[in-house]
Amino acid sequence: MGDKKINMKKRKLGKSGLEVSALGLGCMGLSFGYGPETNKEDAIKLIRRAFELGVTFFDSAEAYGPYKNEELLGEALAPIRDQVIIATKFGFEKGQTALGMNSKPENIRTVTEAALKRLKTGHIDLLYQHRVDPNVPMEDVAGTVKQLIEEGKVKYFGLSEAGVQSIRKAHAVQPVSALQSEYSLWWREPEKEILPALEELGIGFVPFSPLGKGFLTGAINENTTFDKTDFRNIVQRFAEENRKANQIVVDKLHSFAQKKNSTPAQIALAWVLAQKPWIVPIPGTTKVHRLEENLKSETITLTHDDLREIESAFSAIHVKGARYPTALQDRVGK
């Protein structure tokens, strides 16, 4: 590693001074959520290949596993730790999403200390609250992270899937550097309230699932079957009849990609990148060829005409099915 490293363009996440590669790598799927975890050697190779291709921004959480994903990143990034930005998250009881939220100050501290060890590092570059905890005042959460920043254990503070009110409350106590939420051509909800608030406050945006949990790549259709442990089995949007109805989204992307001599995934990512200069998507993948395909999207320029054409094609489509089951939907936008 080293000589072959490509320098990808950099982006600043809002006004906080946090600078990262224009595309990051969402690492969740290597350990959690989309079927069996990836073989460790293969996962380490993928993470290091991403770095060679210019990625400096790697996203994890204690809940991915729990713990396995942070341990994997710790090992994979140890030789290049000073050249990368590591993001992780706290906020669930014992790191298990099924046990509900826990953003009590003492838990934030405990999780941070444990994450530092798992990540084999002296500091966490970006520490997110994974979901807003209705039982802990946001001022207490932001205040605890502020102390961790003062102690040098954390550099920047982030929120995930938070609503505008929570963002404002947190930002007043400790400036928020980034909000991480779902955003893509088939989930555009953040455009209503979130993006204007982030712009006003100078906060960066880190979209997860910018490829619609894989759907926008064109690799999934009505006949796809998911592994029994795959999260998509409980998502309405991935129900067979909805996949069939939503195929129009991919078909439109496909025809547009052909004109630009690229792939549907590349157009979907280039579209996200084109929305604001302070947006840094973090597509995840377990396959090196997909990683390479995704990262090429950074070199695709969509003109005003391209963006207008995509806009008019997509505004006419009504995507079928909710993005989360009810219990998980209740945790977002708070």
Tens of pLDDT along 311-329? 999 988 999 999 999 999 9
pLDDT of 3 reads: 54
| pLDDT exceeds cutoff 50 at 2 | no
Q: Is this structure's pTM higher than 0.95?
A: yes
- pLDDT above 90 for 83: yes
Question: Catalytic: which of 34, 64, 128, 156?
Answer: 64
Identify the structural domains of the chain with CATH numbers, from first to last: 10-212+268-299 (3.20.20.100)
Q: What is the mean pLDDT of residues 53-65?
A: 98
* Mean pLDDT across the chain: 96
Judged by DSSP in three states, 81 sits in: helix
Average pLDDT over residues 85-108: 98
- The 10s digit of each residue's pLDDT in 116-173 is 999 999 999 999 999 999 999 999 999 999 999 999 999 999 999 999 999 999 999 9
Tokens read off for 5: 């490293």
Q: Which of 189, 184, 191, 232 is nearest to 210 (CA)?
A: 184
Structure tokens at 82: 């000073």
Q: How confident is the model at residue 5 (pLDDT cuts 50, 70, 90)?
A: confident
195 pLDDT exceeds 80?
yes
Separation of alpha carbons 144 and 105, rounded Å: 6
Per-residue model confidence (pLDDT) at position 128: 98
| Average pLDDT value for residue range 200-224 | 97
Establish whether the linkage from the previous residue to 66 is cis, with ω within 30° of 0. Answer: yes
Q: Is pLDDT at 14 greater than 50 in this prediction?
A: yes
Is 128 designated active site? no
User: Quick one: tokens of 169?
Assistant: 């409350």
Q: Is the pLDDT of residue 267 over 90?
A: yes
Residues of the chain with pLDDT > 70, as a percent, come to 99
Output the CA angle 172-28-101, nearest 5 degrees: 50
